[in-house]
């Protein structure tokens, strides 16, 4: 568990957060996007590469999976040296990778595991096979503190069709929570972005309390990597907000992560990255404007 510490200057020391996920060369999703999100939200970002993609804002053209031996070496080398206060898991690629990640996390016991079950790219490219999905259910779901599926991913995890209404979302999130350990605090954040309407509604559920999180939908094509950004925002904020079992701190974390993503989407038009689904603006609140710089003397 992360305990806030002070540096010699008296400032709080940022928590260390790792992303175990794939690489998107365009920077809109995967490890690159996760580390940008960690940085924007006051956490020090680390990354373990579980998969490589050939990808841009218009689609995925190929996937390469490094050896599980090297994946294991990455995890063990990092975790043996760096105190990690949260761990975000994204695209893993195949069942061998899933079981390897689960095995090493069981060894190192990191706190605040945020599992984003990445299965399909924004362009519709399948990122996870059936054996890997079964491995995800068996090996990684029981380790997660919170999972963040969207509606198609929820359907795959439950082996049924995607929820198509808010009432079906409520039923699905209850069934998803039953896939997690029942004897400890665990959460499901079911994202409702695939439902129609001007409001975007997510459901946060711990087995007892159903919390409805709503915001206005932003009409924009720049939504590449939104799932990665939301889950990594939760991972960055959990060790800063979550100091013990508490409904209020998890709800606060989820609301803050969604607010960050909402503003990142709203400011995405300031970027010009690719000709397809552009990325969100991870540093919308931090980047200086040209007029903020004084000319050299």
DSSP assignment of 160-193: SPPP-SHHHHHHHHHHHHTTS-SSS--EEEEB-T
Long-range own/partner contacts, residues 268-275 (CB < 8 A, 24 or more apart):
268/220, 268/222, 268/223, 269/220, 269/222, 271/222, 273/26, 273/27, 273/28, 273/57, 274/26, 274/56, 274/57, 274/58, 275/57, 275/58
Whether 131 is a known active-site residue: answer no
Structure tokens at 225: 């990597």
Q: Is the dihedral of CA 209, 20, 226, 121 positive or negative?
A: negative
Active site residue 3: no
Query: Which candidate, 149, 155, 152, places its Cα nearest to that of 124?
Result: 152
Reading the block at residue 47, the tokens are 């990354």
What pLDDT does 291 receive?
A: 61
Q: What is the pLDDT of residue 86?
A: 97
**Which of 155, 226, 241, 278 is flagged as catalytic?**
226
Q: What is the pLDDT of residues 34-64, one digit of tens each?
A: 999 999 999 999 999 999 999 999 988 999 9
pLDDT at 294: 59
pLDDT at residue 252, as a whole number:
94
Query: How high is the pLDDT of residue 1?
Result: 44
Is 226 designated active site? yes
Give the C-alpha separation, 20 to 51, whole Å. 9
Give me the catalytic one of 37, 53, 223, 253: 223
DSSP secondary structure letters along 200-251: EEEEEESSS-EEEEEEEPP--S--BTHHHHHHHHHHHHHHHH-SSS-HHHHH
**284, burial (CB in 10 Å: exposed 0-12, middle 13-18, buried 19+):** middle
Residue 166, phi-psi category: left (phi > 0), alpha (psi -120 to 50), beta (remainder): alpha
The answer to whether 100 is a known catalytic residue is: no
Which residues of the chain carry a pLDDT beneath 70?
Answer: 1-10, 121-127, 242-247, 288-297
Q: What is the pLDDT of residue 12?
A: 81
Residue 225 is a catalytic residue: yes
46 is catalytic: no
What gap in Å lies between CA 210 and CA 174, rounded to an integer?
9
What integer pLDDT is reported at residue 293 of this predicted model? 56
CA distance linking residue 24 with residue 4, whole number of Å? 32
Catalytic residue among 45, 228, 241, 253: 228
Q: Which among 22, 93, 155, 225 is annotated as catalytic? A: 225
Q: What residue ranges do the domains of the chain occupy?
A: 16-278
pLDDT of residue 129: 78
For the stretch 85-115, pLDDT in tens is 999 999 998 999 999 999 999 999 999 999 9
| C-alpha 151 chain-centroid distance | 15
Q: Domain 16-278 is in which class?
A: alpha beta
Q: Give 140's contacts (C-beta < 8 A, 6+ positions apart).
A: 89, 98, 101, 102, 105, 115
* H/E stretch holding 88: strand 86-89
Looking at residue 125, what is its pLDDT? Answer: 60
Among 27, 88, 191, 241, which one carries the catalytic annotation? 191
């Amino acid at each position: 568990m992360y305990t806030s510490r002070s540096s010699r200057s008296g400032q709080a020391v940022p928590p260390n957060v790792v992303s175990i996920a794939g690489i998107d060369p365009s920077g809109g999703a995967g490890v690159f996007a996760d580390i940008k999100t960690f940085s924007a939200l006051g956490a020090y970002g680390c990354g373990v590469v579980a998969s490589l993609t050939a990808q841009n804002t218009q689609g995925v053209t190929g996937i390469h999976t490094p050896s599980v031996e090297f994946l294991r070496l990455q995890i063990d080398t990092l975790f043996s040296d760096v105190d990690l206060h949260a761990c975000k898991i994204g695209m893993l690629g195949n069942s061998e990778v899933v079981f390897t990640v689960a095995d090493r996390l069981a060894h190192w016991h990191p706190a605040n595991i945020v599992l984003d079950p990445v299965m399909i790219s924004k362009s519709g490219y399948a990122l996870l096979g059936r054996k890997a999905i079964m491995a995800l259910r068996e090996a990684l779901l029981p380790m997660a503190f919170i999972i963040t599926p969207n509606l198609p991913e929820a359907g795959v995890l439950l082996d049924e069709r995607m929820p198509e209404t808010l009432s079906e979302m409520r039923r699905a999130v209850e069934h998803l929570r039953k896939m997690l350990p029942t004897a400890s605090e665990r959460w499901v954040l079911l994202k409702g972005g695939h439902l129609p309407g001007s409001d975007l509604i997510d459901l946060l559920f711990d087995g007892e309390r159903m919390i409805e999180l709503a915001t206005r939908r932003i009409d924009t094509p720049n939504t590449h990597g939104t799932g990665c950004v939301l889950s990594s925002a939760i991972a960055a904020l959990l060790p800063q907000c979550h100091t013990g079992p508490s409904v209020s701190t998890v709800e606060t974390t989820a609301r803050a992560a969604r607010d960050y993503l909402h503003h990142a989407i709203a400011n995405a038009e300031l970027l010009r990255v690719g000709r397809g689904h552009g990325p969100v603006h991870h540093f919308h609140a931090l980047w200086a404007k040209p007029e903020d710089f004084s000319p050299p003397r």
